[in-house]
Structure 1
């Protein structure tokens, strides 16, 4: 098995006859020129995991590749004229290597933010990509894509997740937000009390009151 990371949560997995790209999202670059893919997998609908604007060109360059996604993403893609096969936990796919589907729901960001579908993919029985979740499958995980930074994530929870799965190898993913704070600011602004103004002060900036 060979893994190639394309920033954030986008990972190319080459195993057996499979060449599988997972979560080509908005924070990821370099995957656009890939060819010979057997499948493209999407864990959930958030833009950092699914860039619908760049997906058609990728699929056109890989006409043999099957597109699989959680039910929520599949419905959104259908509205854009992109056909994706919706998958559910418990399914097994064969795309030159095996793909076992786990999970079901995105991790809770805040009680006031609706929970969306999220599936996790176990590729070749070895590499688990959980998307935005702490999915614990009922099988051993040899290689884990370990979520690192997100509005729904506390570092201690990721440590507990790592300890619960005890993989042989953990590869940090979902780390682009360490350098892109805007999603956090947007969440604070959206959920703040009505009387509160969020004022972002950049490095070197000032605020007077």
Structure 2
């Protein structure tokens, strides 16, 4: 098995003749030129996991690649004219390499933000991509794609998840937000007190308050 990372949560898994791309989102780059893909797997509908602008061109270059995703994202993709097969926990896919589907829901970001469906994928019985969920799969995991930073997680939760899964190898993913704080800022503005002004100050800038 070979793993290639394309920033944030996007990874390409190659096993034999199978080439499976997971979560080509808008914080990732380099996946756009890939060809010969067997399938594209999407864990959930958030833009950092599925880029609706670049996905059609990717699929045009990979006409044999099928798209698999959760039920909610399948509806979003259908609205964008992209055909996808909805999968649920317990499903098994034969994509040239076996893929087992786990999980059902995204982690809670804030009680006022609706929870969306989220599925994880165990590829080849070895590598597990959880998407944005800290629900441990009820199987042994050899290699874990380990979410590193997100508005929905604390470091303590990440460590607890790592200890619960007990992988032999952990591969950090979902780390682009460490360099892109704007997503956090957006949540502060939307969910903060009414009438609050959010003032971001870049390093080296001076503002009058």
TM-score interval, smaller chain? over 0.9
Tell me the equivalent position of 1:120. Answer: 120
- What SS does the corresponding residue of 2:118 show, helix, strand or coil? strand
> Any conservation in 2 of the 1:38–1:64 contact (CA below 8 Å)?
yes
Tell me the equivalent position of 2:207. Answer: 207
Tell me the equivalent position of 1:153. Answer: 153
CA distance in 2, matches of 1:112, 1:125: 36
**1:37-87 deviation per Cα after TM superposition (whole angstroms, max 9, x unaligned):** 100000000000000111111111111111101111110110111100011
- What SS does the corresponding residue of 2:119 show, helix, strand or coil? strand
- What is the TM-score of this pair, normalised by structure 2? 0.98
> Any conservation in 2 of the 1:44–1:50 contact (CA below 8 Å)?
yes
Tell me the equivalent position of 1:31. Answer: 31
- What is the TM-score of this pair, normalised by structure 1? 0.98
**1:85-140 deviation per Cα after TM superposition (whole angstroms, max 9, x unaligned):** 01111100000001100010000000111000000000001100000011211110
- Extract unaligned runs of 5+ from structure 1: none
Tell me the equivalent position of 1:108. Answer: 108
CA distance in 2, matches of 1:121, 1:67: 13
CA distance in 2, matches of 1:135, 1:125: 18
- Extract unaligned runs of 5+ from structure 2: none
CA distance in 1, matches of 2:123, 2:50: 19
Query: Which ranges of 4 or more aligned residues in structure 1 deviate by more than 3 Å?
Result: none
> Any conservation in 2 of the 1:9–1:23 contact (CA below 8 Å)?
yes
CA distance in 2, matches of 1:20, 1:8: 16
**1:164-195 deviation per Cα after TM superposition (whole angstroms, max 9, x unaligned):** 11101000000000000100000000000103
Return the offset for 1:16: 2.9
RMSD: 0.9
CA distance in 2, matches of 1:89, 1:16: 25
